[in-house]
Amino acid sequence: MPVIDELFAKLRVSGRKAFMPFITAGDPDLEFTHQLLRELDILGCTLLELGIPYSDPIADGPVIQASYTRALKRQIALSDILDMTSQVTSEIKAPLVTMVSYAIVYRFGLERYVAAAKQAGVVGAIIPDLLIEEAGPMAEICRREDFSLIQLVTPTTPRDRAVRIAESSSGFLYYVSVTGITGERQQLPSGLVDEVSWLREQTDLPICIGFGISQPEHVRMLAPVADGLIVGSALVRRVAEAQEKDRAAVMGNICELASELLNAM
């Protein structure tokens, strides 16, 4: 059984939900990323999502775009990220997935990417710009290799298309909570719970909600309907402070917010 399938099966038996923090690989450097992943694992985070920096991300807001830019300015390569990942995955309990552009995967080679990621201890990939019409080859490789292919459904996705996306996905389905790009929100859409409830009736895949989640109130609102929650911009914004402030203090602030959100589930 793929690692993520096994994880969510255990969570369902115990009645628990997954909490997944997102951070950018190499921001401010790979040493910090390595240490932060370890700290988030110690906190008890269920899954860890690592963003692979890309110059033209399709759905990321200004906070995550800026983190990608900072990492790319350091000329961090995919091979460097996978080397770091291979070290950290041997030290943590939480499974790790990458958020990666299909342009990177395609250029690297589909089978080669999956093989390299697996060798580095990665158990799945979230590919936000992989169109359902082009997902077949990647989905087949991932099924064969027990590597989860996690795809996104948005509030504007037509319902028939959402079902097709769910059918080609594995591990879990990533539900985008808001129309637009990533970023912290004060309020989430009023119809979000109903939309996720409908989607749950269409698929047996776990559904994790991301985009805009930044407060314990958001977690308490969504945890009853979701199998997991994903938090990115609120954490990445704090990572940016590592450029100028004491890194230990910055890491403490990041872990404090992650702990607050984790405890709200």
60 is catalytic: yes
Distance (Å, whole) CA 233 – CA 99: 14
- Secondary structure (3-state) at 173: strand
Residue ranges in the chain assigned as alpha helix (H): 3-14, 30-43, 62-73, 78-88, 102-108, 110-119, 136-144, 159-168, 192-200, 216-222, 233-239, 247-263
Structure tokens at 94: 């939480």
- Neighbouring C-alpha atoms within 13 Å toward the C-beta of 133: 0
For residue 2, what are the contacts with CB-CB under 8 A and spacing of at least 6?
123, 124, 146, 147, 148, 170, 171
Q: In this structure, are residues 17 and 44 in contact, taking their beta carbons and an 8 Å threshold?
A: no
Catalytic residue among 41, 60, 129, 184: 60
DSSP 134: G
Catalytic residue among 5, 27, 41, 49: 49
**Residue labelled with tokens 């509030």:** 155
49 is catalytic: yes
- Neighbouring C-alpha atoms within 13 Å toward the C-beta of 199: 35
Residues recognised as catalytic: 49, 60
